[in-house]
Amino acid sequence: MKKYLMTGMAALAISAAFTSCSHNDDIEVYTQEQITGAKYTQAFEGVFGSVNPNVNWGFDNQTVYTIDADGNYAGTRGFTRGSYPNSNQWGMYINVPTEMTPAQKAKVTKFFTEKELHQGISVNWTDFFVHNVSSTDKGPYMNQLCCGTNDFAIKDHVFNFNAGSSTSSKNVGVEPIDANNARQEIYTDGIQLVQNSSTELFAFHNSYDNNWYENNFIMISGEMIDAAYPEAPSVAGMYFVGFDYQHSIDGRIENRDYYFNDWVIRVSPGFYKNSKRVMVEDLIDGSLDKVDISDWDFNDAVFDVAFVNDAAVITLWAAGGTKNLTVGGKEVHTMFGQPISKMINTNAAGGVDGLAPVIFRVPAPSEPNANLIPVYVNNTELKATKGEATQKFACTNTTRWMKERKLITGSYTKFKEYVQNDEPKDWYNTVTNTGNLY
């Protein structure tokens, strides 16, 4: 049989012509996709060696967390959105944040009390915790707390948060059980988990005038507070929302003072325990005639996947490419609020680092497997096929990703052995150079 390598319209035309030919088995025509795939395999195996036919790149079915309509863990399906007043089983399936110390709360309160603020930041989370920090004498009039999108007609009540305060202590379900066979831990801060909502907007209802105020909040990072007050303790890595009280008197709106200390809360991302981390390489979408070995950094997208009822909860950590790349149909740079030309959280020259992760939801695929979350660079799907050169792999959700233009085996030397031998399957637990990791 004669074989011809043809590209573009020529390949399509000849393929169509031979479809109607009685001797069409005399010639085999390769499509552009086949040619590209062959080049990618050659480039990949030139660096990592021949792929073992049993390698599945870490993609196995995951546990599905089932939350019922009351927010209880392992109940029946029916979960929709928002928070639940009596739910406290979060520690079974999500990492409950560490409580703030009194000194940390005092530092945050000082910042919001002393600083007139006009510009804050934003984070993009569907699943998150809300914690109480402090309030002023205006707090008792702020009798509800809501969050959601800028379409304020759709808002979610954060239960147990009223009158500038919250439930002072809460039993948080934990798993596994502790040495005393207890399944509860006392969390003394006010805390509530919110799921399938949004951090785009926060609002309060004023009991004094019976009005909602949805434009009276600001979000500030712990790094901004540490910069203003560098003394210990640090609150780096935390995020806070402050509210500026306002009410109307006889139809007249009282002027605001832009000191957002009347109610201060902390918001923390919701990281699910059973999530898998996926690291992506987009080289297949470019020229494969010459590939620099440092291009094999697998950081063009880094995201975690957990399955909650009928949704896949995706936590996006990094975007190390400068191409249109989508995860679950969402363009990764856009989700970070950045242009496609900007590399994010990979220590790239000209990139932007230190951005908070993005948490969003997409419909769950047919099986709870992170490999079924579609990943595209432009019009090319990035695949992980058993026994073939891969464009993505899965690992534990604590695995650190590579800095920009750092070869993955420069830190994870066992990856090459895994490619060739299907062992060790936990190759990501052997790290030889942490300096190349983000």
Which string of DSSP letters, residue by residue, matches 319-366? B--SS-EEETTEEHHHHTT--TT--BSS--TT-B--PPPEEEEEE--S
Together in a domain, 243 and 298:
no
Together in a domain, 364 and 223:
no
- For 384-404, write each residue's pLDDT tens digit: 999 999 999 999 999 999 999
Together in a domain, 299 and 427:
yes
What pLDDT score does 26 carry? 55
For residue 267, what are the CA distances in angstroms to 193, 271, 281? 10, 13, 32
126 near 118, Cβ under 8 Å? no
Together in a domain, 149 and 258:
yes
What pLDDT score does 20 carry? 36
Six-digit token pair at 86? 């009596």
Total number of domains in the chain: 3
Residue 228 has φ and ψ, to the nearest 5°, of: -80, -35
Together in a domain, 259 and 377:
no
Q: Distance from CA of residue 113 to its chain's centroid?
A: 32
Six-digit token pair at 411? 């830190």
Q: SS3 of 190, please?
A: coil
Together in a domain, 294 and 409:
yes
Together in a domain, 107 and 168:
yes
Beta-bridge partner residues of 260: none
Beta-bridge partner residues of 161: 166
What pLDDT score does 17 carry? 33
Nearest to 185 by CA among 268, 93, 96, 74: 96
Peptide bond before residue 363 is cis, with ω within 30 degrees of 0: no
Q: Which domain holds residue 9?
A: 1-30
Q: Distance from CA of residue 156 to its chain's centroid?
A: 21
184 within a domain of the structure (yes/no): yes
What is the spatial distance between Cα 396 and Cα 279, in angstroms, rounded to a whole number? 11
What is the spatial distance between Cα 437 and Cα 412, in angstroms, rounded to a whole number? 10
What is the spatial distance between Cα 30 and Cα 12, in angstroms, rounded to a whole number? 9
312 near 364, Cβ under 8 Å? yes
Nearest to 209 by CA among 309, 141, 261: 141
97 within a domain of the structure (yes/no): no
What is the spatial distance between Cα 220 and Cα 334, in angstroms, rounded to a whole number? 21
Low-confidence ranges of the chain (pLDDT < 50): 1-24, 75-80
Together in a domain, 361 and 407:
yes
145 within a domain of the structure (yes/no): yes
Residue 283 has φ and ψ, to the nearest 5°, of: -60, -30
Together in a domain, 334 and 431:
yes
pTM: 0.90
What pLDDT score does 124 carry? 98
What pLDDT score does 54 carry? 98
Helix pair angle (32-48, 414-421), 10° resolution: 120
Cα angle vertex 437, ends 436, 438, to 5°?
Answer: 125
What is the spatial distance between Cα 112 and Cα 224, in angstroms, rounded to a whole number? 11
Distance linking the first and last C-alpha atoms of the chain: 50
Residue 104 has φ and ψ, to the nearest 5°, of: -65, -45
64-65 and 301-308 strand pairing: parallel
Together in a domain, 285 and 317:
yes
Residue 67 has φ and ψ, to the nearest 5°, of: -120, 130
What pLDDT score does 179 carry? 67
68 within a domain of the structure (yes/no): no
265 within a domain of the structure (yes/no): yes
Burial class (CB in 10 A: 0-12, 13-18, 19+), 6: middle
80 within a domain of the structure (yes/no): no
What is the spatial distance between Cα 399 and Cα 437, in angstroms, rounded to a whole number? 10
Cα angle vertex 109, ends 108, 115, to 5°?
Answer: 90
Together in a domain, 123 and 154:
yes
What is the spatial distance between Cα 434 and Cα 438, in angstroms, rounded to a whole number? 8
Q: Per-residue DSSP letters for 371-426?
A: GGS-EEETTEEP---TTS--SEEEEETTPPPBPTT--GGGT-THHHHHHHHS--TT
Together in a domain, 165 and 300:
no
262 near 164, Cβ under 8 Å? yes
Q: SS3 of 154, please?
A: coil
Q: Fill in the DSSP letter of residue 1.
A: -
